Amino acid sequence: MNTCEFTRTLVAAGALLAASGAFAHVTLAEGSAAAGSDYVAAFRVGHACKDAKSTTGLTVRVPAGFTVQKAEPRDGWTLASSGSEISWKAASPASALPGEEKAQFIVRGKLVASPGPMWFKVLQTCDVGRVDWAEVPASGSSTAGLKTPAARLDVVALGVATVDVRDAWVRQSVPGQSGTGAFMKLTAPTGTRLVGISTPAAGVAEVHEMKMEGDTMKMRELAGGLELPAGQTVELKPGGNHVMMMDLKQALAKGSTVPMTLRFEDAKGRKTSLELTLPVGTPEGAEAAAPAAHQHKH
């Protein structure tokens, strides 16, 4: 697959829950990583199976292209590993994962050298029933419409940012309006800084901070870029840090989309970029609009 053809649909948390009925998906904490790199696959369990009170087991089927180096044990759980499967099982009901409690099951390994989507099929066993998170789309990488999707990892080419972007959207504007804001959640697997933004929809795009100075709220550019600490989600949101788009080329109507390029730099000075297509909406409709956003790998 050509990396320029590799598209990943961003899925808002609300849409994830709706798609899975009464229980949440098993997903990967970091949804993208560089081809040929070491990768920590942290499988997030957000809820027990439908009508169940606890998760009692998790089995990961290892996909081709991922070489397992180590599976992390969990206190009170037994760990079993073979070449193709890794499983954790609660040793007793007392050590099972309560239904509403979130947890991560971790496998360390190395990724294949070629980019493309990689699917981890995961069987979740509960005190009542089980869910096999194993559905893979017939084409592309969108899990929209799948009831029990497998956990997806986007393996990207070197030079492409591995920053995970979620719930991204742009506030709509009206004719004559010169500026608007863009918002998103960013998670970087390693310490990274967002150092630049560009979009053909605006003459200037910058990360701005909102800060109280005395009794006055002031907005200014983060001249040094936005720090993204390793593994921490940094949110750009209305009323806080955000992307400020100025000198708009035209009004941005609700339901339209805006292309945007984010540029990053890590602690070693390595530069990467990520191209996005963000939906235009309002704060009330942002959650519904966000699943329409895409990331394009180049």
Q: For 165-175, what is each residue's pLDDT tens digit? A: 999 999 999 99
Q: What pLDDT, on the 0 to 100 scale, is given for residue 159? A: 67
Using CA atoms, how far apart are residues 170 and 178, in angstroms rounded to an integer? Answer: 14
Q: What pLDDT, on the 0 to 100 scale, is given for residue 141? A: 64
Query: Which long-range contacts does 81-90 make (Cβ < 8 Å, 24+ apart)?
Result: 85/59, 85/60, 85/61, 86/59, 86/60, 86/62, 87/57, 87/58, 87/59, 87/60, 88/57, 88/58, 88/59, 89/56, 89/57, 89/125, 90/54, 90/55, 90/56, 90/57
Q: What pLDDT, on the 0 to 100 scale, is given for residue 95? A: 96
Q: What pLDDT, on the 0 to 100 scale, is given for residue 17? A: 31
The pairing of beta strand 151-156 with beta strand 32-34: parallel
Over the chain, what is the mean pLDDT? Answer: 84
pLDDT band at 158 (very low <50, low <70, confident <90, very high): confident
Q: What pLDDT, on the 0 to 100 scale, is given for residue 24? A: 52
Joined together, the tokens standing for residue 83 give 């070449």
Using CA atoms, how far apart are residues 96 and 49, in angstroms rounded to an integer? Answer: 13
Give the pLDDT confidence of 196-233 residue by residue, as tens digits. 999 999 999 999 987 766 777 678 888 889 999 887 89
pLDDT band at 124 (very low <50, low <70, confident <90, very high): very high
Using CA atoms, how far apart are residues 25 and 294, in angstroms rounded to an integer? Answer: 20
Amino acid at 59: T
Q: What pLDDT, on the 0 to 100 scale, is given for residue 6? A: 32
Lowest mean pLDDT among 66-75, 130-139, 218-227, 287-296: 287-296
Give the pLDDT confidence of 62-115 residue by residue, as tens digits. 999 999 999 999 999 999 998 799 999 999 999 999 988 999 999 999 998 888
Tell me if 131 sits within 8 A of 8, measured CB to CB.
Answer: no
Q: What pLDDT, on the 0 to 100 scale, is given for residue 70? A: 94
